[in-house]
Chains A and B, each alone.
Chain A
C-alpha cells in the first residue's frame, strides 16, 4: 500500500472515530481530540512537510464534522504539526514520560490555538473561565489514547521515508 493510500485510510478512519466514539465518550463534556492527535503524531513520524500536509487534511475533515467553518482547524493544525516535528528533532533524549508530556503539551497548545482562532472568527461560545479546565482535560484524555494511535500514524506517515538511525537512545 502506498504512503498516500495509507494516510487516506488513517485520516478517514480517524474522522469516523472522531465523529462517533470520541463524541460519545466524554469526561465533563470534553472528548478525545483524535484529529489533533493524528496531526501531532504525523509531525513526529512524517517530518515537517508531510506532517503539515497530513495536518491540513486532518483539519479540513475535522471542520467537516464539527460546527466550525471550513478552514478553521485546517488553519491551525499544519503549524502545530510543523512545530512538533521541529521540536522533536531537537530533543536530545526521548523516554516514554517525555513523549507523553510532549503529546499532552502539544494537544494543549493545539486546543488553545483552535480556541483563540475560533474567537477571532467569532466562533467561540464557551465560558472563558472554563477554557483552561477544558484544555487540561482534553490534553490528558487525548494523551491516554495516544499509544495505539501512534502505531497507526507511524505506519502511515513514515511509509516510504528513509529509515532513521536512532543515535539518541542507548548512548554510552
Chain B
C-alpha cells in the first residue's frame, strides 16, 4: 500500500476531527447523560475560581464598564427619567396606584406569596459572544434549583432555568426566541402559547388563540398553568397590540410586566401548586 502524500495527512486528520465533533453534537442532542455531566463537571470545577476572579476584578470592572458602557448608562438614565416623568404625570387611579406599588416593589419582594421561591443574584452574561437573552445567577442545584423552574420578580415572569450547575445556573429570559409559555387573558379567559421574539420586553401570543377572541389593549395576561411548565396565575404582562384586524393567524403582542433590563435580583420558584417536576 502506498504511503499517503504529506498533503493528505492533515486532510484526513481534519475529517476525523469533524466526524468526532458531529458525533458529539449528535449524542448531545440525543441527551446522552455523560456528555452533560462532563460539561457540568468542568463548569463546577471552574465555578470557585470564577467567583474569586469576580471578586478580585470587581473594582477594575466597575471602571471598565464606566468607560465602555457609558452610552448604555446614559441611555438607561434617560429612560428612567422619562419613565419617572410619565408616572408623575399620570392621574393615579386605584388601578394605577396598585400598579405603581407593584413596580416599586418589583425587584425587592414577590407579590404572589403562595409560591416558594429562592432569591438569586444575577452575576452577568455567561461566557461566549453569540448567545443573548440569557443571564447567569449565583445559585444552583445545591440550593434546590432544577432545570425548567420559573424565574420571576415581584412584577411578574422573567424566564426559566435552562442550565443548572452545583453553584451557578443559567436563566433563559422570556424574550429569548426559544422561550415558550402557556398564557391566559384574564378578562376573556382565552388561553394560548406565547413566545419570545428576541425583541426587548415583549412576547407574541400567536398559537392556540382563537382568531375571533375578544381581546382589549391593556388586558392583563398571566400564566395558564395546566399542562404548562409554569404554575398558573404568574403575571406575564399586558396586551400591547391586540391584532384584531387579522382574520387568519393572530399575533397578539404582550408587553412584559417585569422589565428585563438592569435586573439585579430574581426569585426562582421552587415550589408551587401545579409546578411540574419533570424539567
Contacts and interface: CB of A to CB of B under 8 A. Distances in A.
A67 to B, nearest CB: 6
Interface in B39-85: 39, 42-43, 46, 49-50, 53-54, 57, 61, 64, 68-69
Given A49-B13, A63-B39, A74-B21, A127 B132 contact: yes
B89 interface: no
Interface string A80-122: 0010000000000000000000000000000100110010011
Given A25-B64, A74-B20, A134 B129 contact: yes
B130 A52 contact: no
A56 B130 contact: no
Contact of B17 (A21, A69, A78, A124): A78
A18 B50 CA distance: 10
A51 B81 CA distance: 53
A75 B21 contact: yes
B104 interface: no
Given A70-B39, A71-B28, A125-B134, A52 B10 contact: yes
A48 B17 CA distance: 13
Main secondary structure of the interface of A (DSSP, over half): helix
Interface residues of B, number: 47
Interface in B128-159: 128-134
A70 B35 contact: yes
Interface residues of A, number: 55
26 contacts: A19-B46, A20-B50, A20-B57, A23-B126, A24-B53, A24-B124, A27-B68, A29-B132, A47-B10, A49-B13, A67-B131, A67-B163, A68-B128, A69-B29, A70-B25, A70-B38, A72-B21, A74-B17, A75-B18, A78-B14, A79-B18, A82-B10, A125-B132, A125-B177, A134-B129, A134-B130
Given A70-B28, A127-B198, 7 more contacts: A16-B49, A20-B54, A26-B125, A66-B128, A68-B128, A125-B132, A125-B133
